[in-house]
Amino acid sequence: MLKFGPGGTAGLGYSEGLAKISELKLGALEVEFTYGVRMNNDEAKKIGEMAKKLKIALSIHAPYYINLNSDEKQKIGASRTRILQSVERGHYLNATNIVFHPGFYQKKPKKDSYDMIKEQILKLQDFIREKRWAPELAPETTGKASQFGDLDELLDLRKETGCNITVDFSHLKARNNGKIDYDDVFNKLKPLKELHCHFSGIEWTAKGERRHLLTQENYIKELLLFFKKYNKSGTIINESPDPIGDASKMKRVWDKLPGL
């Protein structure tokens, strides 16, 4: 089973946004904390209860300002705080995954960057377990070669830390100059029973991701045929300039696909 939903409520607010998502028969919403965690626990609980009544699964995108591979301890501390604030709100929202961009290589060897980020994720998970918070950390594949987060790095993190991952197919495409081998990607994802994913149209340069675009139907169909082929289930969040409209478009394309 696949659930589709938007990243954010497109300015509608949670009450109207959740109602709209339900009306369109979408099953998910990613709460966007991209510029800061501006929600308290009481608000989170109310929104979580509203989403539960409407049978809408929630996840969270943590703030952009995260770098667990920084040379500055203060920046790592601030990054940890932003992630943990997101996890705490996610606990009260009854959210599943906490999505975040783990960091930048910053001219360090990739292995050193991996080891640093792995260490920080293990420490975060220890704290999350102590607090008995339910959401899982789900670092995201990133769209620029300067950012930590190709698919292999995240799959290794998953094996070694037990975290979940977020597969952003558009980022993978942008990271590789518009090229993506879906068979290779889905073969690597076979160990994951439920996928948490992002998808939208995307513009890229030689350096990688530039901006998200509206999602074209042929682009959607290309991806969803591989979900059918590999019999994968999970959630796909759309982050285009029209996330609700494009999430609905994705569901319509999915519903029309023949069984394979």
The pair of three-digit structure tokens given for residue 122, joined into one six-digit string: 């293990």
Q: Is the dihedral of CA 48, 54, 55, 60 positive or negative?
A: negative
Band (pLDDT 50/70/90 cuts) for residue 68 is very high
pLDDT in tens, 128-178: 999 999 999 999 999 999 999 999 999 999 999 999 999 999 999 999 988
Per-domain residue ranges of the chain: 2-256
CATH 3.40.50.620 fits 2-256, yes or no: no
What average pLDDT score do residues 205-212 get?
Answer: 88
**Alpha helices, H only, 13-64:** 13-23, 41-53
| Average pLDDT rounded to a whole number, residues 53-60 | 98
Tokens of 212: 């998200």
Residue 39, pLDDT above cutoff 80: yes
> In this structure, are residues 59 and 30 in contact, taking their beta carbons and an 8 Å threshold?
yes
Asked whether the beta carbons of 110 and 95 are under 8 A apart, the reply is no
Q: Is 33 helix (H, G, I), strand (E, B) or coil?
A: coil
Mean pLDDT of the chain: 96
pLDDT of residue 207: 86
CA 88 to chain CA centroid, Å, is 17
Q: What is the pLDDT of residue 260?
A: 52
pTM: predicted TM-score of the whole model, two decimal places: 0.96
Percentage, residues of the chain above pLDDT 90: 92
Distance CA 109, CA 131 (A): 34
Question: Measured between alpha carbons, how far is 210 from 208 in angstroms, rounded to an integer?
Answer: 6
Report d(CA 226, CA 209) in Å as an integer: 23
The alpha carbon dihedral of 73, 79, 81, 83 has a sign of negative
Q: How far apart are CA 214 and CA 201, in angstroms?
A: 5
